[in-house]
Structure 1
Amino acid sequence: MCGRYVSVAADSDLMLEFEVQEPPDDDLAPSWNVAPTDPVRIVVQRRPRPASEADPDGAQARAVRQLQTARWGLVPSWSRDRRGGARMINARIETVTQKSAFKAAAAKRRCLVPALGYYEWQKNGAAKIPHFLHDPDGHLLAMAGLYEFWRDASLADDDPDRWLVTCTIITQEATDLLGEIHDRNPVIVPPHRRAEWLDCSSEDLAVAERLLAELPPARLEPYIVSAAVGNVKNNGPQLIEPVASATQPTLEL
C-alpha cells in the first residue's frame, strides 16, 4: 500500500512538470510526511468553471489541466458522511474498476498525485523497518489516482465548504526488490502516458481498464530511513535521509 509520502515541490514546479494551465486557488505547505486525510495536491483535467450560470461558452470550454487540492482518502459521492475516507487512501488495481466506491471515478475522474517519493515499512520479525522509495534519477513521481466530489448536506448552498474533494492512490502488486519490502506499491504513470490517464472525456470504464493494463511496472529505488517517520507529528527533510541498517532503530507498529 501507500500510506505516507513526500510532497514538497513548489506549485510553480508542479505546473511546469505536469503542463498545468490553471493554477490552484489556495496555498498548501510542503510536507515530508503526508498522512491519510491530509490535504494534498492533485493534477486533473477538467473544463474551467463558467464565469456565471448564464455563460454557455464557459460551460463548453475545452478541458484544461488544473492543479487542485484534495483530501487524501476518497469519499464516494453517495456516502452518507465523510468518515470513511481514511480507509480509502488506496484502491487496488485489480478491483478499482469493479468496486462501487471507485469505478465511477475510474471512468470520469482520474488524476495524478505528485510525490518526491513514499515510505514503506518492511517486516522484520515483530518490528518494521521504514524505507523511502523514489525515482532513481530524482524525478517527481506521478502516482495514478482518482478523485471524487462529496456534497455535505448539512451545510447551506452558499457555504464554501459544502463540497469536499477527496482522492485515492491506485496500488499494484510489487515485484522484485520492491516486493521484498512490501507486497504493494503505487501505480506510477510515466510522462508519455500522463495525457491519456488524465483524459476522461470518453467517460468509458474500459479506457481506464486498458490504461491500467498497459502501464509498466514501477521503477523505484529504496533505502532505509529513520523510524521517526512513523510519527505523523514529525516533518522535515531529515525524514528522507538514509540511515545505516545496522544502526536503524526499528519501530513497533
Structure 2
Amino acid sequence: MCGRYFLHSTADKLTRLFGEMPMPLLQPRYNIAPSQPVPVVRENPVGRREMVLLRWGLVPGWSKGPDPRFSMINARVETVAQKPAYRNALRYRRCLVPADGFYEWRAVDGGKQPYVLRPRAGGVMALAGLWEHWQDANGNELESCTILVRAADAQVRPVHDRMPVIVAPESFDLWLDIHSQKTQPLETLLAVQQAPELQIYPVERAVNRPQNDDESLIEPLERRP
C-alpha cells in the first residue's frame, strides 16, 4: 500500500529527471494524502510529456462519480489487468507520479509506527501510475489517478508487505508510450528490479494527520528534540 508520500524537489530537479515539459507551479509538500491534487507526468495526445494535477483516487470513466466508500488510491499489479476499473487505463492512460519518498506504517504494540522510505542516494523517484477521465451529465470533468503497488522487496518487507512500483529512468518511455509495440509494459517493468536502495527510518506520528504538512514530518524520530 502507498497511502501517503512527499514531494519537495524543485522544478529544475523534476525537469532534469523527466525532461522539459509544461508543469504547474508546485509547492513543497510533506504529507500528500488521498483525494488531494497530485502532480503526474503523462503523454499528451501528440506524444509529448506534460505534468498535470490529478485527484489521487482513481474514478473510472464509466462510474457514477467519486464514491467515498471506495478508495482506489492503489492498484495491485497482480490483478490490475483484470479489474474493470483499471483495465483500460493500463492500456491507454499510464503516468508517472514523482515522489521524494513515501510513508508506510508498521504494526507495533500500541498502534502503528510511521516510517519514511526514500532513496538513500537522494533524488526523485517515479512511481508507476494510471489515470482516468470522468465526466458527468452536466459536463463537469474530473481527472484522477492511482499508484500501482507490488509485493515488498527485501528492504521494505520488515516495515510493510506492499510497496509502490518504482520506475527507473530508462523505463520512462516504455511506461508512458501507449503507442509502443511493447504489449506488456507492466510485465517488462516487474521483470527488472526497479527500486533503488532505500533509506528507511521511523518518524513522528504527526504524519498520521493529513492536515500536518511541514518538513519536520520527514525528520528521523531520534533526531527530534
Seen in structure 2, the aligned counterparts of structure 1 residues 203 and 154 have a Cα distance that, compared at 3 Å, is: farther
Distance in 2 separating the partners of 1:63 and 1:232:
35
Report matched runs for 1:1-253 at 5 Å: 1-21=1-21, 23-24=22-23, 26-47=24-45, 62-84=46-68, 87-155=71-139, 162-202=140-180, 206-219=183-196, 220-244=198-222
Give 1:202 shift. 4.4
In structure 1, give the amino acid aligned to 2:152: A
Give 1:126 shift. 3.8
Seen in structure 2, the aligned counterparts of structure 1 residues 171 and 112 have a Cα distance that, compared at 3 Å, is: same
- Greater share of residues in helix: 1
Give 1:9 shift. 2.3
In structure 2, the gaps of 5 or more residues are none
What's the TM-score, normalizing by structure 1? Answer: 0.82
In structure 1, the gaps of 5 or more residues are 48-61, 156-161, 249-253
Seen in structure 2, the aligned counterparts of structure 1 residues 14 and 209 have a Cα distance that, compared at 3 Å, is: closer
Seen in structure 2, the aligned counterparts of structure 1 residues 85 and 77 have a Cα distance that, compared at 3 Å, is: farther
Deviations 1:66-107 (CA, angstroms, capped at 9, x unpaired) = 111101000010011122596000000111111111111111
What's the TM-score, normalizing by structure 2? Answer: 0.92
Deviations 1:99-133 (CA, angstroms, capped at 9, x unpaired) = 11111111111100000100111111341111000
- Paired residues, what number? 224
Name the stretch that deviates more: 173-182 or 215-224: 215-224
Q: Percent identity?
A: 40
